A and B are shown apart, each in its own frame.
Chain A
Amino acid sequence: DTGVSQDPRHKITKRGQNVTFRCDPISEHNRLYWYRQTLGQGPEFLTYFQNEAQLEKSRLLSDRFSAERPKGSFSTLEIQRTEQGDSAMYLCASSMAGPSSYEQYFGPGTRLTVT
């Protein structure tokens, strides 16, 4: 397994369009996280899954954002009616789950530019 992968790596879209990103986690990891990162900032939590269940969503996540992990493997993040403020790097991470705290491994990210 080569790690977390994300597709596409770059996306340019016009304001108002919908976009969808995909994340494939490390195969044995049952936790999957979505983060957003803007220039000069650390990653900011959006939402996360354990298997197919979405366990938590950030209060910062507007109704235009939706995420799924239908079979507990890959996940998609959709942004509807994109706005210029959505321009950012969208990072996916995966980890084991359990009573302890495990390292989260990040994918290469999808850079979104909304024009």
Chain B
Amino acid sequence: QQPVQSPQAVILREGEDAVINCSSSKALYSVHWYRQKHGEAPVFLMILLKGGEQKGHDKISASFNEKKQQSSLYLTASQLSYSGTYFCGTGGMRSGNTPLVFGKGTRLSVIA
């Protein structure tokens, strides 16, 4: 089952914060977050494994709530370079690297 991402699109001014959610109807083992700019390949941001850990990477962090089968990506003090489409990819209950099922993406536009 494809995870559902929300919102579908968001426009921010530089310095504003945003939250992107990724929900699944199936039990999750892992959630992978990527950012893709137009015409380019998806770029890996971070991976979260079941256990509810939160990860951070500069001003971008994420959480994973396995009970709710949901992950959230937090972008703090957004920069112009954050613009792009954010995808979550979910891995199933089998351990080890399984092929990911991606959501439809959230288009983020940061304006000056």
Contacts and interface: CB of A to CB of B under 8 A. Distances in A.
Interface of A: 31, 33, 40-45, 48, 56, 58, 91, 95-109
Interface of B: 2, 29-30, 32, 34, 40-44, 47, 49, 87, 89, 91, 95-105
B44 A104 contact: yes
B102 A43 contact: yes
Contact of A41 (B30, B89, B98, B104): B104
Nearest to A108: B41
Contacts of B30: 101
Nearest to A30: B97
B104 A40 contact: yes
Contact of A103 (B29, B41, B47, B99): B47
Given A41-B104, A43-B87, A100 B42 contact: no
A107 B42 CA distance: 8
Contacts of B99: 33, 45, 48, 56, 58
24 contacts: A33-B99, A41-B104, A41-B105, A42-B87, A42-B89, A43-B89, A45-B100, A48-B99, A56-B99, A58-B99, A91-B41, A96-B97, A97-B97, A98-B97, A101-B32, A101-B97, A103-B44, A103-B47, A104-B89, A104-B97, A106-B41, A106-B42, A106-B44, A108-B40
